[in-house]
């Protein structure tokens, strides 16, 4: 009945496969299997010579199905589909058997590996004869892009796309773009002023005709697919009319309510109840903090409204919900700083002069709460000695096992800034290892060594104010084992800075769910491939950039932002892309109209037609999961490329040796 | 028997999470039991209970359904549907005399190669302890009872 000619190609992958799987045996055995017309093994099937083997065999032997036993289909399915296409064979007549990732790399038992490889090849052969010719589905790419997150990665992505002439919606949760970078003072290792290099970019974003900036806004819902995502955005009420506001700042000056600024100033400074996070904020409009504004709490005051020269304050303003359609989405949602309170022995929140890195950044910033002076909590006294503790929350199995990548460098920057601003002060940097692997970073480390920073190699056990010696009185004592001299040390200092690590945003799981992404163990978004596809995700049309993908510094975030933009620009320029035709469809003559499938579809792609009493699947909406296919009691739904026939045949093939054993046993049992 | 019993497990792995977890386990050269043979489906929601029965009928000693973590399904909630079917199917299988260890559901994200490898090891051990599935279609537990009593 089935009259297909299958070609089986077993790849050695050098010794990656051939070192564990007996590839000759697998190829020879395959040749004896039903449907198989040609079988070969070859060193590297993915090489052009390997691909030519397939092309030539299709032409010479008239092969109608191709099975390549090599690596994961996620690696080379495209490659071999291309080879089929070149020989005039529909690319969906290819099937791969994953005998590298799933076999040779996963076991060292050669006999078991060879047996398993045969099973996978047999499954692929059996399946392939049921394959049907399929044509990719063209999808038009909407030219607008949504960028979520207005930190440096998101800014970089938005500007690249806008400069290339494509419309961008940039959505930022906070009242201003800028992200964490806006809070920093200097940037390592060049000591560029962070604001000086960032604010021009922020202004560019604010003024760019191709960028629709939506700050104080959040994405609430996403639906659709690559080429056409429908995004619902909630624009929170700022309580002022952006058309009228000139950003003069009079309202801020007049507002009588002072609030400790936990966000931008990291709790070190204060802001008003109507405020802009910082003077260079983009956009320039302030926002009223409903939790602290007297009017919202007590129903009176309205001083800002009375004083506003353009009458832009509007207490009745409500949140606005709007919908935009975009072709692609770039997530650049950044990171959270590790909460140093979680390590009680370091005393943050209990010992007054223990500061977090972010507090120190604000302190050394000329526009910050202390005007750039390095002082203790009293706001007056300059410290005579400062300890900087590296790896707070990072490289620690109790918190995060990973290295946060930036802390060594910014800790050294802190040491430099202390030397610069308080020339007499001594600085002790407590480190586990110095990780200075970026361009110019090691050089910066050597500069610090020359500047006289004391580097103490050892994880700090405790920061305490319990003095044991007279010189420790009134000081913070940092206790650590100095692993270079092999001794416990107690170093009394006036100020301790905790170099907290980066962690995934507290709501990263929730975001991942909203956008259909995966998170890793630590909550960072998972990229499509850690080396070769670092900004794409498993969901077509959704890209990631910056620290939401893993801890990284500014240059890396900028690079990823630009990389994600380049990927999106490529898609926009193509205008139409071809999507996998893995979609479900209903054979109307078999549909009984039972409607079981109707409510199973998460994309509402199935519609029931009352007049004909059958359901129908919209190809445009179907994402190809196959849940409905599995549920149809009449087997009336076809899941293209994953049909019941194909999967049943695959199951039979994958268990070929089990059947044979049974047969042997039966045969053996008969004479007895 | 000369050869010690090696269970054969058919794994239905979803394209987005668990199949990639298995890929990652290999890439990271995590050595684990070679007893699970993977069949790729787009979503664990695609696993028709008939596939499971078919696998048992064809001689599988165990079937593993693996998907994305609940809440992290590439197709929103296909894995939840798989879970519902799994719960029902497993109770049916038990009524037919198939031990519950022989059908398992596993959640492994694309970055959790270790979780998938450990699940395969664990399941292999559990089934090794049970021995081969001697399921003769058409026979009820009642019919098998005398044999079972002998054992």
Q: ipTM score here? A: 0.92
CA distances from A670 to A30, A666, A667, B1 (A): 29, 6, 5, 18
H/E run at residue A139: strand A137-140
- Asked if residue A189 has a cis previous peptide bond (ω within 30° of 0), the answer is yes
H/E run at residue B19: helix B18-27
CA distance, residue B117 to nearest chain A CA (Å): 9
Residue B42 belongs to domain with CATH number: 3.40.50
d(CA A509, CA A520): 10
The pLDDT assigned to B76 comes to 83
Which residue range(s) make up the domain with B91? 9-149
Q: What is the pLDDT of residues B70-107, one digit of tens each?
A: 878 888 889 999 999 999 999 999 998 899 999 999 99
Q: Which residues 33-52 of B are in CB contact (within 8 Å) with A?
A: 33-34, 37-43, 45-51
Tally of domains in chain B: 1
Nearest CA in chain B to A520: B111
Residues of A in contact with B38 (CB under 8 A): 98, 102, 120
As a residue count, chain A comes to 672
H/E run at residue B62: strand B62-67
Q: What is the pLDDT of residues B56-71, one digit of tens each?
A: 999 999 999 999 998 7
Residue B1 lies in a domain: no
d(CA A464, CA A478): 7
Among A102, A512, A650, the residue with its CB nearest the CB of B22 is A102
| Cβ–Cβ pairs < 8 A, chains A and B | 160
Q: Tell me the two tokens of residue B117.
A: 């490898």
Instruction: Say if residues A15 and A28 touch (Cβ distance below 8 Å).
Output: no
pLDDT, chain A, mean: 95
Residue B2 lies in a domain: no
The pLDDT assigned to B1 comes to 44
The pLDDT assigned to A274 comes to 96
Among B23, B29, B51, the residue with its CB nearest the CB of A74 is B23
Q: What is the pLDDT of residues A301-320, one digit of tens each?
A: 999 999 999 999 999 999 99
Fold of domain A584-639: Alpha-Beta Plaits (3.30.70)
Q: What is the pLDDT of residues A92-113, one digit of tens each?
A: 999 999 999 999 999 999 999 9
Where in chain A is CATH 3.40.50?
A: 6-134+647-669
Average pLDDT over residues A561-569: 98
Q: What is the pLDDT of residues A605-663, one digit of tens each?
A: 999 999 999 999 998 889 899 999 999 999 999 999 999 999 999 999 999 998 766 55
The pLDDT assigned to A467 comes to 95
Q: Are A74 and B112 inside 8 Å of each other by CB?
A: no
The pLDDT assigned to A664 comes to 65
Q: Are A630 and B60 inside 8 Å of each other by CB?
A: no
Average pLDDT over residues A66-85: 96
C-alpha dihedral (A148, A151, A153, A157), degrees to nearest 10: 60
CA distances from A376 to A350, A365, A526 (A): 14, 15, 41
d(CA A432, CA A265): 29
Residue B45 lies in a domain: yes
> Which residues pair with residue A38 across a beta bridge?
A7
Band (pLDDT 50/70/90 cuts) for residue A672 is very low
The pLDDT assigned to A347 comes to 96
The pLDDT assigned to A11 comes to 97
Where in chain A is CATH 3.30.70.20?
A: 584-639
Between B147 and A385, the higher pLDDT residue: A385
Nearest CA in chain B to A17: B26
Look up the CATH number of domain A336-503: 3.50.50.60
- Name the CATH code of domain A238-318 (choices 3.40.50, 1.10.260, 3.30.70, 1.20.1280): 3.30.70
Q: In whole angstroms, how large is the CA radius of gyration of chain A?
A: 32
Classify domain A6-134+647-669 by CATH architecture: 3-Layer(aba) Sandwich (3.40)
């Amino acid at each position: 009945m089935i009259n297909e000619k299958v070609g089986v190609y077993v790849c050695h992958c050098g010794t990656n496969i051939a070192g564990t799987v007996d590839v000759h045996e697998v190829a020879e055995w395959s040749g004896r299997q039903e449907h198989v017309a040609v079988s070969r093994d070859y060193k590297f099937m993915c090489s052009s010579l390997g691909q030519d083997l397939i092309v030539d065999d299709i032409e010479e032997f008239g092969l109608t199905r191709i099975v390549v036993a090599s690596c994961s289909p996620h690696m080379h399915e495209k490659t071999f589909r291309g080879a089929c296409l070149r020989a005039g064979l529909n690319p969906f007549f290819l099937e791969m058997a994953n005998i590298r990732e799933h076999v040779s790399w996963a076991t060292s038992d050669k006999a078991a590996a060879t047996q398993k490889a045969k099973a996978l090849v047999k499954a692929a052969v059996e399946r392939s004869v049921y394959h049907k010719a399929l044509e990719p589905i063209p999808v038009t790419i909407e030219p607008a892009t949504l960028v979520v997150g207005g930190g440096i990665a998101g800014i970089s992505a938005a500007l690249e796309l806008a400069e290339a002439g494509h419309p961008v919606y940039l959505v930022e949760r906070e009242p201003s773009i800028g992200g964490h970078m806006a809070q920093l003072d200097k940037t390592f290792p060049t000591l560029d002023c962070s604001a000086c290099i960032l604010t021009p970019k922020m202004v560019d974003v604010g003024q760019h005709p191709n960028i629709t900036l939506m700050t104080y806004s959040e994405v609430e819902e996403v639906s659709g697919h690559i080429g056409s995502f429908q995004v619902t955005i909630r624009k929170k009420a700022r309580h002022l009319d952006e058309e009228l506001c000139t950003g003069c700042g009079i309202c801020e000056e007049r507002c009588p309510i002072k609030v400790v600024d936990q966000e931008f100033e990291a709790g070190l400074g204060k802001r008003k109840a109507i405020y802009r996070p910082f003077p260079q904020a983009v956009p320039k409009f302030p926002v009223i903090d409903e939790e602290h504004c007297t009017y919202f709490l007590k129903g009176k005051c309205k001083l800002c409204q009375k004083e506003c020269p353009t009458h832009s304050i509007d207490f009745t303003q409500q949140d606005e919900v709007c919908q935009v359609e975009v072709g692609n989405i770039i997530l650049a949602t950044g990171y959270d700083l590790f909460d140093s309170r979680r390590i009680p022995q370091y005393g943050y929140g209990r010992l007054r002069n223990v500061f977090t890195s972010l507090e120190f950044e604000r302190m050394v910033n000329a526009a910050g709460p202390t005007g750039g002076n390095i002082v203790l909590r009293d706001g007056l006294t300059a410290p005579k000695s400062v300890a900087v503790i590296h790896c707070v929350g990072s490289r620690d199995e109790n918190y995060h096992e990973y290295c946060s990548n930036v802390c060594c460098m910014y800790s050294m920057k802190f040491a430099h800034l202390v030397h610069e601003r308080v020339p007499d002060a001594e600085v002790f940097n407590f480190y586990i290892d110095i990780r200075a692997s970026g361009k110019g970073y090691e050089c910066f480390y050597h500069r610090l060594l020359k500047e006289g920073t004391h580097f103490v190699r050892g994880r700090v056990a405790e920061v305490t104010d319990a003095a044991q010696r007279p010189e420790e009185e009134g000081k913070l004592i940092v206790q650590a084992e100095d692993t270079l001299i092999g001794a416990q040390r107690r170093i009394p200092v006036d100020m301790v800075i905790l170099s907290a690590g980066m962690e995934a945003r507290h709501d990263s799981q929730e975001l991942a769910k909203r956008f259909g992404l995966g998170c890793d163990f630590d909550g960072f978004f998972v990229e499509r491939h850690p080396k070769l596809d670092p900004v794409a995700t498993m969901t077509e049309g959704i890209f990631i950039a910056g620290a939401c993908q893993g801890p990284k510094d500014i240059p890396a975030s900028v690079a990823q932002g630009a990389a994600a933009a380049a990927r999106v620009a490529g898609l926009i320029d193509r205008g139409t892309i071809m999507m996998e035709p893995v979609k479900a469809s209903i054979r109307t003559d078999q549909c009984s109209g039972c409607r079981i499938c109707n409510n199973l579809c998460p994309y509402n792609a199935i519609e029931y037609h009352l007049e004909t009493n059958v359901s129908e699947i919209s190809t445009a909406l179907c994402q190809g999961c196959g849940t409905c296919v599995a549920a149809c009691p009449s087997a009336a739904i076809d899941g293209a490329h994953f049909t019941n026939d194909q999967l049943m045949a695959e199951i039979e093939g994958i268990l070929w040796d089990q059947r044979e054993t049974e047969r042997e046993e039966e045969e053996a049992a008969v004479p007895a | 028997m000369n050869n010690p019993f090696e269970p054969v497990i058919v794994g239905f792995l979803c394209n987005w999470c668990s199949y990639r977890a298995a890929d990652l386990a290999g890439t990271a050269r995590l050595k684990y039991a070679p007893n699970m043979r993977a069949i790729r489906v787009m979503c664990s929601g695609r696993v028709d209970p008939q596939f499971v029965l078919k696998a048992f009928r064809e001689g599988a000693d165990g079937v593993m359904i693996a998907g994305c973590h609940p809440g992290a399904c590439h197709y929103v909630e296909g894995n939840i549907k798989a879970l519902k079917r799994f719960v029902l199917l497993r109770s049916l299988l038990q009524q037919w005399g198939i031990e519950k260890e022989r059908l398992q559901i596993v959640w492994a994200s694309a970055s959790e190669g270790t979780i998938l490898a450990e699940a395969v090891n664990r399941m292999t051990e559990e089934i090794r302890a049970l021995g081969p599935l001697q399921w003769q279609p058409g026979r009820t537990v009642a019919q098998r009872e005398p044999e079972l009593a002998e054992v």
